[in-house]
């Protein structure tokens, strides 16, 4: 058992794994990267996660770690503090689950900047991933998604639930005709996929404002029906009866091409403060 705080630096997440395996059951472990902190507070072997003073859930943890890796953050320092009185309130995660998340990090850099997702077992992935799987996906979009993270994709692929496929059009074209053929194919792809690409971007925009809208709902703020946020079709996004709605390509609300994101039921939600 440690008696004094220990500070150091990690160069990769393999070292993070070794630290996790070394930690005791009652300890505070803080990672610092630039202006961001992620604190892991262990109490009887179960971790509570706090980032910059706010409790975060498992998905937000995965998203933050994914961004650190993709952005190539090198200066990651840690502090280990033993003998805590009590961990703050927040979502709990077991040590085994945390180790599994960290083990998946090494696969993130293998994900191409643009790729397609082939779903093998649709029962084990969120419904919105089926929408993403229909079109080419950019890695940066997943970094900002509130439904799943790059770490989730790594885990699902390792478990055989999905397959991540690299998009490499030029490799399929004979070199002699590559230049001319590419012009025609590129034009066709833009025409065929541009509306769907904007559909995905619109979903992501709705997901980006979801937490802010939920916070205002919890605080009983009066929300306008027409929000000051635009979707990828240059429409305002609407809030109605627990749903975020984009009018879609036809720019008319209440038609069949509306994009709808259901917000969680907050009837049992309560406020809490992190000390």
Of 139 and 267, the structure prediction assigns the larger pLDDT to 139
95-104 vs 58-70: helix crossing angle, rounded to 10: 30
Assign 228 to helix, strand or coil: strand
Q: What is the pLDDT of residue 2?
A: 52
Rounded distance, CA 211 to CA 147, Å?
A: 12
Dihedral (Cα; 16, 17, 22, 24), 10-degree rounding:
90
Q: What is the pLDDT of residue 73?
A: 62
Q: Report DSSP state, residue 242.
A: T
Q: Which of 20-24, 176-180, 218-222 has the lowest mean pLDDT?
A: 176-180
Q: Residue 146: which of 190, 101, 207, 89 has the closest Cα?
A: 207
Helix (H) or strand (E) holding 188: helix 178-218
Q: What is the pLDDT of residue 111?
A: 86
User: What is the number of other CB atoms lying within 10 angstroms of the CB of residue 23?
Assistant: 19
For residues 167 and 138, the answer to whether their CB atoms sit within 8 Å is no
Mean pLDDT for the chain overall? 78
Of 273 and 7, the structure prediction assigns the larger pLDDT to 7
Residue entry with tokens 């994009």:
259
Q: What is the pLDDT of residue 195?
A: 54
Q: What six digits make up the tokens of 151?
A: 């770490």
Q: What is the pLDDT of residue 271?
A: 42
- Kindly report, residue by residue over 62-89, the tens digit of the pLDDT: 888 888 888 776 677 888 876 566 777 7
Rounded distance, CA 119 to CA 160, Å?
A: 9
pTM, two decimals, is: 0.55
Give percent of the chain with pLDDT exceeding 90. Answer: 7
Average pLDDT over residues 34-47: 81
- Kindly report, residue by residue over 107-162, the tens digit of the pLDDT: 888 888 888 889 999 888 888 888 888 888 888 888 877 678 888 888 898 889 99
- Kindly report, residue by residue over 172-205, the tens digit of the pLDDT: 444 445 555 555 555 445 444 455 667 878 888 8
Dihedral (Cα; 64, 67, 73, 77), 10-degree rounding:
10
Burial of 51 (0-12, 13-18, 19+ CB in 10 A): middle
Q: What six digits make up the tokens of 186?
A: 């590129």
Rounded distance, CA 166 to CA 170, Å?
A: 12
Q: Report DSSP state, residue 134.
A: T
* 137: phi then psi, degrees, rounded to nearest 5: -120, 135
pLDDT band (50, 70, 90) for residue 171 = very low
List, in sequence order, every beta strand (DSSP E) within 58-153: 76-82, 92-94, 114-119, 137-138
């Amino acid at each position: 058992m440690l008696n004094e705080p220990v500070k150091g630096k990690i160069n990769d997440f393999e070292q993070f794994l070794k630290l996790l395996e070394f930690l005791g059951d009652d300890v505070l472990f803080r990672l610092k990267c630039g202006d961001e902190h992620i604190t892991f507070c262990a109490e009887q072997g179960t971790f509570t996660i706090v980032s910059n003073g706010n409790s975060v859930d498992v998905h937000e943890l995965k998203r933050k770690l994914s961004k650190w890796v993709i952005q190539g953050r090198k200066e990651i320092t840690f502090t280990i503090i033993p003998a805590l009185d009590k961990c703050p309130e927040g979502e709990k995660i077991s040590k085994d689950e945390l180790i599994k998340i960290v083990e998946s990090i090494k696969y993130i850099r293998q994900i191409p900047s643009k790729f397609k997702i082939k779903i093998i077992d649709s029962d084990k992935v969120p419904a919105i991933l089926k929408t993403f799987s229909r079109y080419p996906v950019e890695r940066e979009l997943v970094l900002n998604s509130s439904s799943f993270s790059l770490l989730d994709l790594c885990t699902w692929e390792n478990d055989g639930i999905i397959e991540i496929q690299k998009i490499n059009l030029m490799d399929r074209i004979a070199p002699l005709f590559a230049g001319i053929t590419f012009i025609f194919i590129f034009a066709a792809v833009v025409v065929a996929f541009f509306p769907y690409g904007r559909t995905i971007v619109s979903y992501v925009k709705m997901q980006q404002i979801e937490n802010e809208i939920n916070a205002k709902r919890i605080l009983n703020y009066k929300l306008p029906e027409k929000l000051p946020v635009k979707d990828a079709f240059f429409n305002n996004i609407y809030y109605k009866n627990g749903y975020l709605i984009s009018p879609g390509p036809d720019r008319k609300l209440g038609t069949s091409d509306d994009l709808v994101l259901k917000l969680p039921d907050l009837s049992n939600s309560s406020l809490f403060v992190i000390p």
